[in-house]
Amino acid sequence: MSNLNPNTFFENLEERKRRIEAAGSEIRDDFYLNRMAKVFHPDRQYMKIAKVTEIDKDTKIFRFVPDPDRGTTRCAPFLAGQYLNVFLNIEGMKVNRAYSISSSPQNAKDGFYELTIKYVQDGLVSRYVLDNWKEGDEVELSGPAGNFYYQGLRDAKTVICLAGGSGITPFRSMAKAIADGNEDFNLVLLYGSRTEDQILYKDEFDALGQNDKIKIVHVLSDEQKEGFEYGFITADLIKKYAPADAPYSVFVCGPQAMYRFVKGEVAKLGLAKKYVRFELSGEIHDASSMEDYPGTDQATVKITVSIRDVTKTVTGSANDTILQTLEKNGITVPTSCRSGECGFCHSVVTSGKYYVPKAVDGRRVADEKFNAIHPCATFPLSDIEIIVPADK
C-alpha cells in the first residue's frame, strides 16, 4: 500500500535527483522500454524499393522493404491512415514529403509498406520520385506518424470516408485492415474521380466491397454512367449513404481543391466536432487560389529567419508557403505532416503580415494571439521576420 501514498514521491525527491545527476546522457538500449520505443517510433527507417507498379503515367505504387545492411530489420507497425515521411536530397536541396501509407498494417507485419505517389502540379518531389525511383534504390523513411486513424472511443461505428484523387490511399489501408480483421468498423467510401478510367484501385475496391463492413461508392464529376453517382460529394450525397438512425463519423482526405469544397458540405451536416476528421493529401500551396486569401501587393517577399543563433534573409514568392521558400533557399525546418496539423514546425512571427488559410487553421487561440504559426501552412503577405525551431 505504501506505493500508493503520494508522499512517497516527495520523500524520495533527493534520492531521485541524485540518481538523475549520476545517470549518463545516452539513451540506454538495455532498457526494454527504450528498445520498444525504437521499434514502434523509429526516427528513420532505411528501406529498399522492392517493386514499382505504374498505375498510369502520373501515378506509381512503390513497395519498400527493410534494408538490414543499413540497420533496419523490420517495418515499424502503424495504424491504418497514418503516413510516412520520405527524405530526399534533390540537387543539394534537403526536402521531405508526407505520404499516407496505402498498404495495410498486416503488410507491415509481413515486411513491407506501399506508398502510392501521384504527380501533383508543380510538385518538385512527386516529379522527382516518379522520374527517378526504381527497384533496388535505397530510400530513407520516417517512422509512421499522424492522427488520421480510427479510434473506437471517439469515432462512431460507421465512418463515411470522402476521398478525392490520391486521397484514396489512407482509405485503401483502412479497408484492407477491416478485411484482414485488424480494424472493426463499417466503412462507407465515397470516392470522387473525374471519369471511371481515373479511379485508382477500382478492381481492388470492387473486391473489398464484397466485405459486409465495406461499401464502395464511386462519384464521377465528368461522366454520367449507370452504377456510379454523378457530380460532386455534397452534403445530400453523404446523407444518402449515412445510417439514418445511428451516429456516423466523416473522414475526409483529398487534394486542396476537393478538401475546401467538401469542408463546406460536411459543415452542413451539423455533426459533433469529434465525428469529423480531415487530412490534406499533399501539402498546401498556391495562396491566391484560396477563397479567403486577402491578397498582397508584394509578389516577392523577404523572409528573415532565426534558427538557434543564426539569422538569414531569403527572398521568395508570396504565393509559396514560408516553409517552401525556406527550403528552396536551403534552410531546413523540422517538419512532418507539412499541412499545419502535427505542430513540428511551430514557429513565431516577430514582425510582418501573414495569412493562414481558414481551411487548415487549427491553431489555438493563444497561438493566434502570440503570432505562433506553422510555416508549412502560412503565406507571407509582406516582408516578415520569424523564429523557427532548429532541425535535429
Residues within the interface to ligand FES (CB under 6 A): 335-338, 340-345, 374, 376
- Cβ(280)–Cβ(256) below 8 Å: yes
For ligand FES, which is the closer residue by CB, 141 or 342?
Answer: 342
Nearer to ligand FES by C-beta: 107 or 335?
335
**CA 269 – CA 120 distance, rounded (Å):** 30
Whether the Cβ atoms of residue 74 and residue 42 lie closer than 8 Å to each other: no
What distance in Å separates the CA atoms of residue 169 and residue 285, rounded to the nearest whole number? 20
Q: How far is CA 251 from the centre of its chain?
A: 13
Nearest to 137, CA basis, from 55, 73, 59, 63: 63
Kindly state the smallest distance separating residue 392's Cβ from ligand FES, in Å: 14
Query: Nearest approach, Cβ of 373 to ligand FES (angstroms)?
Result: 9
**Residue with smaller CB distance to ligand FES, 209 or 362:** 362
Asked if 101 and 83 touch (Cβ cutoff 8 Å), the reply is yes
Q: In angstroms, how far is CA 244 from the centroid of its own chain?
A: 31
Minimum gap (Å) between residue 343 Cβ and ligand FES: 5
Query: Minimum distance from CB of 80 to ligand FES (Å)?
Result: 20
d(CA 123, CA 315): 20
Comparison of 221 and 329: residue with beta carbon closer to ligand FES: 329
Nearest to ligand FES of 209, 343 (CB atom) = 343
> Closest separation between CB of residue 307 and ligand FES, Å?
15
Report residue 310 as a C-alpha cell: 543564426
